[in-house]
Structure 1
């Protein structure tokens, strides 16, 4: 039964981090290990509850995982600057 629990934990790490990227599972592992470390300070009985809530929130709100959130934030912050910079030289330079 322990092997099945470990497989579920690995799958949860991949889903939370982001499927389809190399950095996604790494970020998911870091998040789960940090949560595990701090939840053990309270006795460890809240670890599974916190993992389940995190999985539920990620599957409902951020289907791409943490890497998807990072890509969207980067797109919003830096995408506008690139569009503005590309639009500026297109002013009536043909005459």
Structure 2
């Protein structure tokens, strides 16, 4: 998505707004952003953390004595906890 620059004309218009006009303007900007987000395709909730999960999986795989099944069990627990608390990354 391209960043929309504020033109000088828009800046001057905003600068001269009273309280009510500014409130209406801010609400319209918020609503247009909300609508744009609602139109986008839903994203897989684990999409943003996959690079981190892949790195964690690689590091766990380096530990001697941890096989593929135990590695997957650990990753499953991490993903479950991440979804419960929300990713802070």
**TM-score bucket of the superposed structures, by smaller chain:** 0.3 to 0.5
More helix, by proportion: 1
TM-score (structure 1 length as normaliser): 0.36
Higher relative contact order (CA 8 A, sep 6+): 1
TM-score (structure 2 length as normaliser): 0.37
Which of these two proteins has the greater Rg computed from alpha carbons? 2
